[in-house]
Structure 1
Amino acid sequence: MENILETMVIPFAKNLALAIVTLLVGLALIGKIAKLVGKQVEKSKIDNTLKPFIMSLVSGILKVLLAISVVGILGVETASFVAVLAAGGFAIGLAFQGSLSNFAGGVLLLVVRPINVGDYIEADGFSGTVEAIQILNTILKTPDNKVIYIPNGNLANTSIVNYSIKETRRAEWVFGVGYEEDTDKVKEVLSDIINSHLLVLKDPEPFVKMSNHGDSSVDFKVRAWVKAGDLWDLHYDVLEIVKKRFDKEEIEMPFPQMDLHMEK
């Protein structure tokens, strides 16, 4: 009994204690190293889109190395341990195929670059500003400050609408007036409004045309090109200005027709 205690239990207990200490110290060191790497990466000229991915990858690699070291301290030969991992790779791949798909998707997103940090996108049924592309997930922030985590595998295999990739965008409005109104006057007023707005780009030139004969109104379509960041400011400005000018020019805008089938 004493021989067993001396030859097996006591050495194992020592190794176990050393392994626990190594694990705790290692995790603490990894945390500090990750912070240090994070600071250096933030200071570097590396693309902002790559920074979160690099920091997540460094942290993950260090934790894998720590796990191998702890297993080695417990008496398991690291070569055998790695061989077991390699032999079980297929099973692990099946078990974590979703995670592997997300990792591969993250790499694909960084290589193809359909999105970058700071872009406003719509994908996988969600929309928001890209805050980070991590190892497994891409983080979006919505205009009302919600945070959305989308698996990279989903993003890599779905259609993405990127609203920020181009410097300019086209704004569009439809304004309806009564059939009794002077259509030439309406067109002149709308053209004056859109051409005089400071946010509207002159090239391509704005578009103002009659677009539809509705049941209770004649509709005019107005289009204008604007810098992407000014789109919504222009949109709401024009809506307000048109209403005020139509009131001033005594141009009637018909009331919206009520849906008679709408539940009360």
Structure 2
Amino acid sequence: MNELLSTEIYAGRTLGDFISFDFLAALVGDLLAAVVVLFLGFIIAGWVSRRIRAVAERHKRLDQTLFDFLSNIARYVVIGLSVLIVMSTFGIQTTSLVAVIGAAGLAIGLALQGTLSNVAAGVMLIFFRPIKLGDFVTINGESGTVKSINLNFTELASVGNVQIIIPNSEVWGNTITNFSAYPTRQAEWTFGVGYNADLHLVEKVILDTLMSDPRFLADPAPTVKVTELGASSVDFLARAWVKREDFFGYSKDMNRDVKIALDAAGVEIPFPNRTVHIIKDD
């Protein structure tokens, strides 16, 4: 039943007219049409949403978070259009309704400025993707693995598997340190040896130890250089490259392995020394 016919049927009716056969037939027809439109709308909305998600599932290089967001937007748009069609079927002026909804949205927006700032930041995070699911990051002083990014907040899991919730406005408006952005990372150590040590031997021992681990990457080349003549030690700065996923394990293991290698080579690793002079009064 089109909008014109529906308007003519419902307008100017008295209570007695509501029980007429023609009116009841038109009402039932409109109700059935509304049910069919809503039913088809929900089916189409679900189908469109699944198709969009499937694109990200087929192409692993695409960001799943972005396509989840787009699929939800598409679903609600289709459902909203279905509701507007149903309202038009019953002769409701959708133009006026949209104006009322817009005014109400403005009032709600002014009342929920903080929440909407999080939503706006969430949209920016999803579209520009400075972080992705599974990245290890530091945001606003909090470190952890990104577990979810939605329109209101970002969820991290700390190294100890503790949930951290950060409002999106604080994520987008702060410095983000993403340790997972690049496939390789440079590990760095400082090793101190005694002043009587053979510096060429120390350099060779450290370098050989770094290179002997299978996680070591030969390109870029590692470096082992004297960087400081300290108060009680000669300090060597060592740097080597590894794959991102090997960084933490390799960094920690080399502290142990270099110490063992220096001990085996007879190289002294000194303790800080302090000389205390005691002056006695006569």
Please report the TM-score for the alignment, with normalisation by the length of structure 2: 0.68
2:202 aligned with 1:195: no
Deviation above 6 Å: which 4+ runs of structure 1? 58-68, 76-79
Name the SS of the counterpart of 2:257 in structure 1: helix
Deviations along 1:100-121, one digit per CA (max 9) or x if unpaired, are 2112112211222211111111
**For 1:151, which of 157, 162, 167 is the aligned residue?**
167
Partner Cα distance (1:63, 1:149) in 2? 31
Q: Quick one: which of 245, 249, 262 aligns to 1:246?
A: 262
Check 1:257–1:126 CA distance in 2 against 1; reply closer, same or farther (3 A cut): farther
2-side partners of 1:257 and 1:78: how far apart?
84
1:95 to 108, 111, 119: 111
Gaps of 5+ in 2: 1-14, 16-37, 85-91, 275-282
What does residue 130 of structure 1 align with?
146
1:236 and 2:252 matched:
yes
Question: Using a 3 Å threshold, how does the CA distance of structure 1 residues 56 and 150 change in structure 2: closer, same or farther?
Answer: farther
Give me the CA root mean square deviation.
3.8
The range that moved more, 117-126 or 40-49, is 40-49
Q: CA deviation at 1:214?
A: 0.9
Instruction: Quote the Cα distance in structure 2 between the aligned partners of 1:222 and 1:253.
Output: 16
Match of 1:210 among 226, 232, 254: 226
Are residues 1:41 and 2:57 paired? Answer: no
How many Å apart are 1:89 and its aligned residue? 3.1
Question: Bigger shift: 116-125 or 167-176?
Answer: 116-125
Question: Contact conserved, 2:52 with 2:70, CA < 8 A, in 1?
Answer: no
| Structure 1 position 84, deviation (Å) | 3.1
Whether the 8 Å contact between 2:153 and 2:166 is mirrored in structure 1 is: yes
Equivalent pair of 1:56/1:135 in contact (CA under 8 Å): no
CA distance in 1 between counterparts of 2:137 and 2:161 reads 15
Q: Which runs of 5+ in 1 are unaligned?
A: 1-6, 8-25, 69-75, 259-264
State the partner residue of 1:107.
123
Inter-CA distance 57–162: structure 2 relative to 1 (3 Å threshold): same
Name the SS of the counterpart of 2:214 in structure 1: coil
Provide the C-alpha distance between the structure 2 equivalents of 1:81 and 1:153, rounded to a whole number of angstroms. Answer: 32
- Cα offset for 1:131? 1.4
Does the aligned pair in 1 maintain the 2:49–2:75 contact within 8 Å?
no
Distance, in Å, in 2 between the alignment partners of 1:158 and 1:186 is 43
Q: 2: distance between equivalents of 1:165 and 1:62?
A: 36
Measured after TM superposition, the shift of residue 189 of structure 1 is 0.8
Q: Which has the larger radius of gyration?
A: 2
Structure 1 counterpart SS, 2:217? coil
CA contact (8 A) 1:56 1:134 kept: no
Task: State how far apart, in whole Å, the 1-side matches of 2:164 and 2:103 are.
Answer: 36
Q: TM-score, normalised by structure 1?
A: 0.72
Q: CA deviation at 1:195?
A: 2.2
- Taking a change above 3 Å as real, the CA distance of residues 65 and 150 of structure 1, as seen in their structure-2 partners, is farther
Distance in 2, matches of 1:238 and 1:65, equals: 62
- How many Å separate the matches in 2 of 1:110 and 1:203? 34
In structure 2, give the amino acid aligned to 1:121.
V
> Paired residues, what number?
234
Q: Distance in 1 between matches of 2:259 and 2:132?
A: 38
**Of 245, 252, 271, the match for 1:255:** 271
Q: Is the 8 A contact 2:66 2:127 kept in 1?
A: no
- The Cα of 1:41 is off from its aligned counterpart by 3.3
State, as a whole percentage, how many aligned pairs show the same letter: 40
Q: Secondary structure at the match of 1:98?
A: helix
